Structures are given as structure tokens and as C-alpha cells.
Chain A
Amino acid sequence: MKLETLSKETVVQTLKSQGLRLKIGGFTVCLSSSIPDVAAHLASLYGAFELVDEADFIDFYTSLESPSLLRRYFRPQVTFSFDGYFPFKPLPYDQASAMFEWGLNWCIASQSHQYLIAHAAVVELNGQAFIFPGVPGSGKSTLCAALVCSSWRLLSDEMTLLSLADGLVYPVPRPISLKNRSIDVIRNFYPEAVFGKVVNDTSKGTVGHLRPPDKSVGFGSDPAQPAKLIFPKYEQGSETSLTQLTKGRALLKLAENSFNYNVLGLHGFNSLADLVDCCDCYEFKYSNLDEAIALFTGMAQ
């Protein structure tokens, strides 16, 4: 049963009581919250996600609440907890839904060491996964959103889960986090795009989350074969350019963009080396999304 089959009232009540249990890629998440924005965020962006039965194992028990009664009314704040642990300082109350996304990123990145986890968007077309590692501001999420709005499958806009067991990339399709100008860029590029509440003045600037395509969510358990490793860089006014990158340099750059490479030791090294072995590696500079999409779609044929 999908979340969109529940009424808004049921979503609100379930979040307030036993918590809403969702299957997100290969993970199961239980979220409790009495914050109306969180219910609205889930209802608008997580409609296509499957609900998890009461009896099923939950990977991450999370909650979003006000830290105290005082902070519910005076300069209201929100805290994120995971299994009763509070990994972050409270944030302003209107950032609750964004905090859920950031908190869940943290849960996955800090707990899922069966994967080499890279800070990278990953999308798939014709059975080929294209991996776009990048620091914030590199334009990877914007590129990812544009590709996903052009029929590519979303595996993740934020973290590439590379299995240590089989070398495949496992999906965790979730709302795509866009920041500042990228929000309007994607709205103009794809007017049908559904966004959750856009929040201003976060530590990352203005943040908006784009609903992932239902089809991508439906394929949330199917891994993909890595094919291309592309380090994007958005530069206003730049020509589209794709430059071959040596595999050694690609490995080091990807290690720098990994959340748990140091934790995994030799397994992490072998995993990255196997990945660059089976991928063509490039650096990519762009400013025109249409050209970027045409280029990558051609490469995936």
C-alpha cells in the first residue's frame, strides 16, 4: 500500500501516534512528528512510497519534534532524533521538512557500511548508471533533476550506494534537494515538477525538494550497473565540455567525495578501484541543461 492511499488526516494522525513507516529504497524508516509541515512534506513528495507493515523490521526510527514546550511558541525550533539520539543542534521550526531529509541522509551515511557511499547523484538509462560526484555548488543535483525530468531513472540525487558485495549501485530514490537559483531553473525547465515547501534562510540558502518520479520510486529495489563516472562543474556561460579523466585521478577524486571510504579501509579501496575499472571517467563543465541532457542521453544509447 502506498502513502498516497492514506488521507491527509490519517497521515497526520499516524505521524503523531505510532509513526509513519515507509520503505525508501532498500531501507525502512519510521518517522514520528506532530509538526504539520512534516505531514504536508510527506503527503506531497512521498505519495508513491510503499508503507511498511507493523511487523516488519525498521532500519531507522526517527522523529522531528520541538525541543521543549517553550520552543514550540518562542522562536520555535525543531530537533531530529534517530533511535533517541540527537545528532544535530535544533533548527528553526519552518525547516522541519528539510531537517528530515538531512537527518535521513545522515542516518544512511553513518550506518550503512555495507555500501561505499559517495556524495554523488546517480541516474540510470538503458541499464547504465551515470554517477555524478560533487561538492555542494557543483551543479550535480540540478543536472540530476533535469535528467530525471527527461525520463532518466533517479537512484539518488545525494548519495551513491555502491555495494561492497556485488559492485552494483543500489537506489535510494528520494526528493531531490535543490538550492537557490536551481529551484527556478528546474521549475522553468520542467513546469510540471512538483516541489514541497520552499524554505528560506537555511544554512544552505533557500532549499526546495522536488518530488521523485513515481516510476523511479517503483524501481526502488533494483540496482544498476555503473557505466560512467562524471565530475560535473556548473559555470555560468561556459561551453559544454566533457574531458576524459584518468582512472587513478578519478579514484582519488571519488575517495575525497566519499562519506565512509576511511571506515571501510581496504574494502573501500577495492570497491572504488573496481568501480573506476568498469566506468569511463570524465570531468564535465556545463551551463546549458539541454546540451547536457542530449550529450548524456546519446552516451547511454
Chain B
Amino acid sequence: MLSADLIAFPKGGIVSCRFWENDCVVYQELFGQTHLIEGIGAQVFKLVSEAAITYDDLLANLQSNFELENNADMGLILDNLILEYQKLGLLAVTDNDSA
């Protein structure tokens, strides 16, 4: 993932989110699928729902809000989450220059 990549919802308004204390539920209208997202993932969706965000800003926010055990790498966790959410059609990643 490039640091300037922009993380956002896919175009067309096909993703809807509802947030509660520590979790959120995301509905992908095209696939008709509902996903429960908790923890770090919920924070990702909270930030993206406010506005498209760069990878670096997203990572910085997560690093300041979550403490990881055993020196786990937040960058690696975020990369995996974004990849998974892309596959599910919940997030889109674009080159910031072309966005």
C-alpha cells in the first residue's frame, strides 16, 4: 500500500454503515451481504465514513488509538484488513493523484 493511497467507500453509494460503541455493521447493497466489524476494523470504517482518507492518515490514527500486543505491526494488520474489505466490496483504494 502506498502512503498517499486514498481509502474510501466504493462509488455508487452501495455501502451503508451503522455504528455503535465498539462495533459497526456494514451492508454491501450490490452483494446483499451484511458484515459485523469490530475493533480496529470498526475504527477504519468510522474514519472512512467521515471522508476518504489517505493510508498514512489512517495508519496514524489507528496507531494512536490502539495498543497492540507483542509489538505487532499495525501497518501489516491494516494492509490485511484493507485487502479483505476490498475483496468484499466494502472499500476502494485509489491512487491519490488520480482520485
Asked, given contacts A252-B25, A262-B32, whether A246 binds B16 with beta carbons under 8 Å apart, the answer is no
Option from A246, A266, A269 in Cβ contact (under 8 Å) with B23: A246
Asked, given contacts A248-B38, A265-B29, A266-B27, whether A273 binds B18 with beta carbons under 8 Å apart, the answer is yes
Task: Return the chain A residue nearest B35 by Cβ.
Answer: A252
Chain B residues positioned under 8 Å from A248 (CB to CB) = 20, 23-25, 36-38
Q: Are A266 and B29 in contact (CB under 8 A)?
A: yes
A227 to B22 Cα, complex, angstroms: 21
Task: Return the chain B residue nearest A255 by Cβ.
Answer: B34
Chain B residues positioned under 8 Å from A72 (CB to CB) = none
B25 to chain A, nearest CB (A): 5
A245 to B34 Cα, complex, angstroms: 18
A255 to B18 Cα, complex, angstroms: 14
Chain A residues positioned under 8 Å from B73 (CB to CB) = none
Number of A-B contacts (CB under 8 A): 40
Contact of A249 with B by CB under 8 A? yes
Contact of A20 with B by CB under 8 A? no
Task: Return the chain A residue nearest B27 by Cβ.
Answer: A269
A269 to chain B, nearest CB (A): 4
Provide the main secondary structure of the chain A interface.
Answer: helix
Chain B residues positioned under 8 Å from A269 (CB to CB) = 16, 18, 25, 27, 34
B66 to chain A, nearest CB (A): 18
Chain B residues positioned under 8 Å from A276 (CB to CB) = 20
Q: Are B36 and A249 in contact (CB under 8 A)?
A: yes
Q: Are A246 and B20 in contact (CB under 8 A)?
A: yes
Q: Which of A248-291 contact B (CB under 8 A)?
A: 248-249, 251-252, 255, 262, 265-266, 269-270, 273, 276-277
Chain B residues positioned under 8 Å from A277 (CB to CB) = 18
The 7 closest A-B pairs by CB, nearest first: A248-B23, A269-B27, A273-B18, A247-B20, A248-B25, A248-B36, A252-B36
A-B contact pairs, 11 of them (CB 8 A): A246-B20, A246-B22, A246-B23, A247-B20, A248-B36, A252-B25, A252-B36, A266-B16, A266-B27, A270-B16, A277-B18
Given A246-B22, A248-B37, A251-B36, 6 extra CB contacts under 8 A:
A248-B23, A252-B34, A265-B32, A266-B27, A269-B18, A269-B34
List the interface of chain A (C-beta within 8 A of B): 246-249, 251-252, 255, 262, 265-266, 269-270, 273, 276-277
